[in-house]
Structure 1
Amino acid sequence: MPRPRQALLTRGRIVEAALALIDADGLDALSTRRLAAALGVRGPSLYNHFATKEEILDAVADSVTATVDVSGFGRHDWPEALRHWARSYRAALAAHPHVVPYLARGPGRRPAALTMADAVYGALVRAGWPPARATHVGAALRYFVAGSALGSFARGFVEDPSLYAAHPHLHQAHRLAGHQRSVDEGAFTLGLEALLHGLVAEYAATVAPRQPVTGPG
C-alpha cells in the first residue's frame, strides 16, 4: 500500500506542536485554529484527541512536568532529594517559561504533576515532617522554583550606563544582562541553599526530637 502523505495525528504530535507555539509566542498565542494550521489539519481533527483547549493546555503542562527528575526521593535523604528535585524542576520550567503561569495553578488532574506532588510530600512525611508542615515545605519550594523560572533578574536591566547615572548604587547595573546566566543561577542557588538551611534547622529543632529512638541494629 502507498505510504500516507501526512503523518497520523496523535496526542503526542498535538502536544509537541502546542508547546512549540507557546514557547515561541506565549500562552495567549495558542488557539485551536493556529494549532491546527501548524499541524496541517482542520480544526475539528483536534477534537478527536482533546475535547477542549483546556485539555490541550493540561497535556502541554504535564509534558513539561514529566521531565522533572523525582528519583532523588528514593535515593537521598530529604534535604538532598529536595535539592536535586528543585534544580531539575527549575531547569524544566526555565526551558519553557511561558508555560509557568499555567503550571502555577497547581496539579489539577494532571498525572505527572500529581506523581511529582506525591513524591515530594511522601518523602517529607516519611522523614517525619508532620503532614501539614510537609505541605508547607513542598509549597514553599514550589513557589520559589516557579518564581525563579518566570523571568530573569539580570535581563531586567538594560545595557545603558547613562540610565543609572542618578542611582549611585546601580552604577554597574548595565553589566548585569551580560552576565545573565551566572547572576540568575547564582541567585537561585543562594536562595535554594538558604531555604534548605532553614528547613534543616527547623527539622532539627522541631521534628527530630520527636522521632522514635531505635535500638542497635
Structure 2
Amino acid sequence: MGRPRNPLLDRERITSTALRLVDTQGEFSVPQIARTLGVQTASVYHHVDGRDGIVELLRERVCDAIDGETLGLEPWDAAMEAWARSYRSAFAAHPRVIPLLMTSPVRAPKVLAQYEHAVGRLLDAGFALPDVMPVIIALENLVLGSALDLAAPETMWELADETATPRLARALGAIPEGRADQAFELALTGYLAHVRTLLDVS
C-alpha cells in the first residue's frame, strides 16, 4: 500500500485533540489522544516529547490568541492593560487548560518570546529590575483568575438559610449582571494604580 496523501499524525492534530479533551474533561492522556486519532500510543511519541511536550504545545496554541502587539502601545500602562485584556480573552476560551499550564514550567520558545517583550517593555518604562517579574506575575494571577471566573456558574454561593447570613444574602442579591467582568475591571484598575506607584519610587 502507498502512503496516505495526508499524514494521519502530526503535531497540529495532536495539539487539537489534546485541547478538545481538556476542554471536555479538564485533562488528557497520551493513550487517549492515540485512541481518538486511531493510532498507536507509540506513534504519538514519535511526534512529541511525551506529556510535557504536549502541555507546551497546548500553551503555544492558547497563547497564539494573545495579541503580543499590544505590548508596543504607548504609554506603558496602556500596553499592559491591553495585553491583560487580550490574555484574559485567550484563556477564557479554554479555562480548563489553566491548571495544566500553571503547574508546568514555561518552555515554549514562542511564549518565552512574549515574556521577553513584556520584560523589555517594563524595563524601558523605568521599572527597577527586581519589580519586573512580580508585576508580570501579578498580572497573570489577575487575568487567569478572571478567566476561570468567567467559566464559573452564575450562582457561586448557595444559601440554604438566608436568615443565617442576611448581609451576604443582600449583597448577593445586589450583584449586577456581568459580575465577572465588573470584578475584572475593578481588579485591573487597582492593579494598574499600584504598579504606577512602583514606577514612581523606582
What letter matches 1:115 in structure 2? A
Q: Which residue of 2 aligns with 1:16?
A: 16
TM-score, length basis structure 2 = 0.86
Per-residue deviation, 1:19: 0.4
TM-score, length basis structure 1 = 0.81
Q: 1:114 aligns with which of 89, 112, 115?
A: 112
Whether contact under 8 Å (1:18, 1:35) holds in the other structure is: yes
Q: Which residue of 2 aligns with 1:212?
A: none
Q: Which residue of 1 aligns with 2:201?
A: 206
Q: 1:192 aligns with which of 179, 188, 192?
A: 188
Q: 1:183 aligns with which of 179, 194, 199?
A: 179
Q: 1:70 aligns with which of 65, 68, 71?
A: 68
Structure-2 separation of matches of 1:38 and 1:175:
46
Per-residue deviation, 1:201: 3.2
C-alpha offsets along residues 28-51 of structure 1, whole Å, 9 cap, x if unaligned? xx1112111111222111011013
Larger Cα-atom Rg: 1
> Cα RMSD over matched residues?
2.6
Whether contact under 8 Å (1:107, 1:113) holds in the other structure is: no
Aligned residues: 199
Q: Percent same amino acid among aligned pairs?
A: 33
Mapping of residues 58-207 of structure 1, within 5 Å: 58-105=56-103, 108-151=106-149, 152=152, 154-158=154-158, 162-172=160-170, 173=172, 179=177, 182-203=178-199, 205-207=200-202
Per-residue deviation, 1:174: 6.5
What letter matches 2:59 in structure 1? A
Q: 1:55 aligns with which of 53, 56, 63?
A: 53
1:17–1:163 CA distance, 2 compared to 1 (3 A): farther
- The structure with higher relative contact order (CA 8 Å, sep 6+) is 2
Structure-2 separation of matches of 1:199 and 1:51:
38
